[in-house]
Structure 1
Amino acid sequence: MRDFTSFSKAMQRIAVDAVNATKPTAIVYGKVTSISPLKVNVEQKMTLTNAQLVLTRNVTDFETELKLDGQSSKQKYMIHNALKVGEEVLMIQMQGGQKYIVIDRVMT
């Protein structure tokens, strides 16, 4: 019975190590340290640059069309939503750990 328990624990350890080796997705926090070029410091361990970051609409300037009450047609409006230095962001580390999707700001 002892041999089976040791074998079982060894197999569990191997399975966990195999999953961790593939670097599955993870939620991480970062802080914007520069805008041009964009740089985000991740938990004071490393700095990510434009090449590693995928930005969502929540953290970029974008244009949208709106039709307000009483208007006959849509009008274009610019939404100024780009990141600013010092803001904290919520990110998803993509599998493999090479790219990070910046989901949104963290409100503190």
Structure 2
Amino acid sequence: MLNMIKRAAMDANEASVPVGITFGTVVNDNPLEVTVDQRFILDEDFLIIPESLTKYEIDLKHSHTIIGVGGTATALGDKVIIRTGLEKGDKVILLRVQGGQQYLVLDKVVGA
């Protein structure tokens, strides 16, 4: 009986904790999969990815008409990558949302 009461108290305490911090590693970037402490793998369905961790690139191709010269100059330069997004091997900080059904990818870990 005492063990049941202790277990109920522990379960109630865990349920009251809104988030838990953990670390993971990106094992696949398309589709996105993150392994958590080498225990289990989370796929995109369980991850909340902020915009700051998504790939962002801009297209710099453009052309100019030069007045008086009678021609068109085309500036070369395809796409410039502003953010690479999450890639295989990246270490990430995860916040477990209450209930443990979703994880917010807070940021990448660098230098660790």
Q: TM-score, normalised to structure 2's length?
A: 0.65
Compute the displacement of 1:11 (Å). Answer: 7.1
* CA gap 1:23/1:98 in 2 versus in 1, 3 angstroms: farther
Q: When the two structures are aligned, how many residues end up with a matched partner?
A: 88
2:29 matches 1:35:
yes
Compute the displacement of 1:33 (Å). Answer: 0.2
Unaligned runs of 5+ in 1: 1-6, 65-76
Higher strand share: 2
Compute the displacement of 1:13 (Å). Answer: 6.5
Any conservation in 2 of the 1:23–1:96 contact (CA below 8 Å)?
no
Looking at CA atoms only, which structure, 1 or 2, has the larger radius of gyration? 2
Q: Which is worse superposed, 54-63 or 97-106?
A: 54-63
Q: CA RMSD in A?
A: 2.8
Any conservation in 2 of the 1:61–1:82 contact (CA below 8 Å)?
yes
SS of residue matched to 2:52: helix
* C-alpha distance in structure 2 between counterparts of 1:49 and 1:13, whole Å: 31
* CA gap 1:78/1:98 in 2 versus in 1, 3 angstroms: same
> Superposed, which structure 2 residues align to 1:1-108 within 5 Å?
14-21=8-15, 24-62=18-56, 79-107=82-110, 108=112
Compute the displacement of 1:79 (Å). Answer: 2.5
Higher helix share: 1
* CA gap 1:85/1:78 in 2 versus in 1, 3 angstroms: closer
* C-alpha distance in structure 1 between counterparts of 2:41 and 2:16, whole Å: 21
Compute the displacement of 1:56 (Å). Answer: 1.1
Q: Residue type matched to 1:35 in 2?
A: D
